[in-house]
Structure 1
Amino acid sequence: MAGIYWLISKVMLFWHTVWDSILPDHRVLSTNWQWVLAIVFLVITVRVVLFPIFVKQIKSQRAMQAIQPKMKELQDKHKGDRETLQKEVMKLYQEEKVNPLMGCLPMFLQIPVFIGLLHVLRHLRPGMSDHSMELYGWTKDEFLSAVDARLFDAPIVAKFSSSTAELLKIDASSTTVKIVAACLVALMITTTYLTQRQMIKKTGWNTDPQQRMIQKFMLYGIPFFTLTSGWYFPIGVIIYWVTNNAITLGQQYWVLHKYPPPASATTNTTPFKGGAGAAKKAGEAKQPSGLGALFSRAREEAAAQAQQRTNGKGPAKAAGTKATGTPDTAAPSRAPKPGAKPINPKKGGAAKRQSG
């Protein structure tokens, strides 16, 4: 791991030199932005290097989504026979040239970087010998400058769990460190959850039980891990994590909108919010019952009558005519009595016919 520690140190020192030549040497908002930006651009450097692998990850995810209908068929066919199902699934992966582990590869490749930065920042502490300060390519001045670097007056090498004695050695306030570290941990948990939620919300829950279990672990397990372990991370490491999550959110947003999941993947997965149960409830909610049903039928009948009147086919027609506007053959017309006067339609119509 010494090679990884040396590489991480060199990238950080390179970006510190760049930003130190651009920004003033004094602190702004009680922050040494040269060192903070050195960590931020360490993340950017890693993400640029891993971008080709990220593209392969997206292709692998799309391939996994495309074969979901076949996966569903295998699950239904070999239900209860787990051993046969696993063999058939592996055979399907080979035929379709799909690697399910490719989806997690970028995350796995970032683990050594994360561990390397964690080790380097823990190594940065006062009272070290000259030889220890110059490990991993540091000079003595760079080492002491990094030890004293701060974010809002909280040293980037300090932790939420740092003891009072440790903070006294770097002239730091315990309250300030805890406030800054707690805020960063909250950001770390939130952005970690959002990165996973963003993907699941777009693609839905996977129908494969194993893949669904992985999705649940990524959505809930990793944020819980950051909650329990974030108190022991140096502030500089949390800056790295939050920046990495922010870049991931932007990157995923771009990919999901430019290269949306295939339609087959959407139709064979359960929506993120509520799943099938929510869809069923939504369907039931559309069917009115009780007084709602009565009012609904009354409105429909009123609308139908209004439509008939508009078309000139309403019930208000002359006697001997159906509501449909056609002569009523079932009710024959009454013949005039013998000796009756002819009916003048202008002077009484049907009324005079009855009086005659």
Structure 2
Amino acid sequence: MFSLDWIYYAISWILLAWHSAWDAIGVADGAVLGTNWAWILAIVFLVVTVRVILFPVFVKQIKSQRAMQALQPQVKALQEKHKGDRETLQKEMMELYRKEKANPLMGCLPMFLQIPVFLGLFHVLRRLDPAKENKTLYGWAVDQFDSASSATLFTAPIAGKFGSTAEELARLGANATTVKVMAGVLVLIMMGTTYLTSRQMILKTGWAEDPQQRMIQRLMLYGIPLSLLISGAIFPIGVIIYWVTNNLFTLGQQQWVLRKFPPPPTMNAKSGSAPRNPVQPAKTGGLLGRNKPAAQVPAKPVAPKVAGPKPGAKPVNPKKGRPAKRQG
């Protein structure tokens, strides 16, 4: 059976290293405003460590999304060409992505790579129970384990969760109402920031033309935040702190990367499709030529000018057809 112990050891090592660093520079491990800031900052900088490691992958994600946007006109043409033939359409689209070296799954890669970190932190914090006999598992010292298991955020233990039983809360020495209020507020913040990270990316890159890509975008925008309303009840408060911090970090990172690598100027930010490029009409005089190119405005025929008689001169062309007047 595949073991995840290496992830638990890695997460524990990073947490303990940051806790030792904050403790060394004078951040008190005692509760200030009901909060053990050294452990809270250790969780926050676990996020920083992971995001710095994954930053090259994040940049590749942005570049891949740009490539996918550039291919949208060709994708749309394939959809029109193979309408009703889903198998052929998928085959042609996969060939197009392969030829242009675009990966539709790259947009989700950074999130998938963070799942092991999330699961590792979830497992490590869940075992912060004072009743545990083996307190040295995953490289922890006994005093570090005791310090972390008693660490709080505004008097709510970071190992507590919204769905904690009365027995679990009693072992942590926590008040049930305090834990539920703090966990509930953090879950709502987690849902809101998760929605904002997806919305920020979609507003900048546009909705995909490919139905599968659009479905993934809708899942990221609405499905995941709504699922957190239920799953958030089983997350320890420390895990929710990690998630919220990660979302805030993502918002700032996306804003910076999207400015450095802006969407192609030919792409429409809302739909992701190429905007229309109407030909500007040539300027012509007159009301009829205001909205049409000059070549399309028919020229009005003009009669040739005939020079009139000079003042005082006799008419050159007398009226014809009249009989001459008789003298008599």
Q: Which residue of 2 aligns with 1:258?
A: 260
2:92 to 80, 84, 88: 88
Partner AA of 2:178 in structure 1: T
- Tell me the alpha carbon deviations over residues 154-209 of structure 1, each in whole angstroms, 9 at most, x when there is no partner: 00000011111211111110111011101100110000000001111122211111
1:50 to 44, 51, 54: 54
Q: Which residue of 1 aligns with 2:72?
A: 68
Q: Which residue of 1 aligns with 2:104?
A: 100
CA contact (8 A) 1:191 1:246 kept: yes
Q: How far apart, CA to CA, are the structure 1 residues paired with 2:264 and 2:166?
A: 55
1:222 to 215, 220, 224: 224
The residue correspondences of 1:18-33 to structure 2 (distance < 5 A) are 18-22=21-25, 23-33=27-37
**Is structure 2 residue 200 aligned with structure 1 residue 198?**
yes
Q: Which residue of 2 aligns with 1:288?
A: none
| Percentage of identical aligned residues | 64
**Is structure 2 residue 8 aligned with structure 1 residue 2?**
no
CA contact (8 A) 2:156 2:182 kept: yes
* Greater percentage in helix: 1
Q: How far apart, CA to CA, are the structure 2 residues paired with 1:47 and 1:270?
A: 28
**Is structure 2 residue 151 aligned with structure 1 residue 153?**
no
Partner AA of 1:81 in structure 2: D
The residue correspondences of 1:173-252 to structure 2 (distance < 5 A) are 173-252=175-254
Q: Which residue of 2 aligns with 1:13?
A: 16
Note closer, same or farther for the CA distance 1:104–1:155 as it changes in structure 2 (3 Å cut).
Answer: same
CA contact (8 A) 1:189 1:226 kept: yes
- Tell me the alpha carbon deviations over residues 64-112 of structure 1, each in whole angstroms, 9 at most, x when there is no partner: 0111111111111111111110110011011101111111111110000
1:39 to 34, 37, 43: 43
Task: Please report the TM-score for the alignment, with normalisation by the length of structure 2.
Answer: 0.80
CA contact (8 A) 2:161 2:236 kept: yes
Partner AA of 2:212 in structure 1: Q
User: Cα RMSD between the aligned structures?
Assistant: 1.3
The residue correspondences of 1:265-280 to structure 2 (distance < 5 A) are 265-266=267-268, 269=271
**Is structure 2 residue 115 aligned with structure 1 residue 111?**
yes
- Tell me the alpha carbon deviations over residues 97-131 of structure 1, each in whole angstroms, 9 at most, x when there is no partner: 111111111111000000000000111101111xx
Q: How far apart, CA to CA, are the structure 1 residues paired with 2:40 and 2:28?
A: 14
Report the Cα offset of residue 62 of structure 1. 0.7
Report the Cα offset of residue 153 of structure 1. 0.2
Partner AA of 1:10 in structure 2: W
- Tell me the alpha carbon deviations over residues 192-249 of structure 1, each in whole angstroms, 9 at most, x when there is no partner: 0000011111222111111111100000011011111001100000000000000000
Report the Cα offset of residue 261 of structure 1. 1.1
Runs of 4 or more, structure 1, over 4 Å off, are: none
1:77 to 78, 81, 88: 81
Q: How far apart, CA to CA, are the structure 1 residues paired with 2:121 and 2:184?
A: 20
Q: How far apart, CA to CA, are the structure 1 residues paired with 2:174 and 2:41?
A: 21
Q: How far apart, CA to CA, are the structure 2 residues paired with 1:232 and 1:182?
A: 11
CA contact (8 A) 1:29 1:152 kept: yes
CA contact (8 A) 1:155 1:177 kept: yes
CA contact (8 A) 1:54 1:106 kept: yes
Q: How far apart, CA to CA, are the structure 1 residues paired with 2:141 and 2:29?
A: 18
Q: How far apart, CA to CA, are the structure 2 residues paired with 1:115 and 1:165?
A: 24
- Could you list the runs of 5+ residues in structure 1 that have no partner in the other structure? 272-356
Task: Please report the TM-score for the alignment, with normalisation by the length of structure 1.
Answer: 0.74
Q: How far apart, CA to CA, are the structure 1 residues paired with 2:96 and 2:197?
A: 29
Q: How far apart, CA to CA, are the structure 2 residues paired with 1:73 and 1:112?
A: 39
Q: How far apart, CA to CA, are the structure 2 residues paired with 1:267 and 1:243?
A: 28
Q: How far apart, CA to CA, are the structure 2 residues paired with 1:118 and 1:140?
A: 20
Instruction: Count residues with an aligned counterpart.
Output: 269
CA contact (8 A) 1:190 1:223 kept: yes
Partner AA of 1:97 in structure 2: K
Note closer, same or farther for the CA distance 1:5–1:52 as it changes in structure 2 (3 Å cut).
Answer: same
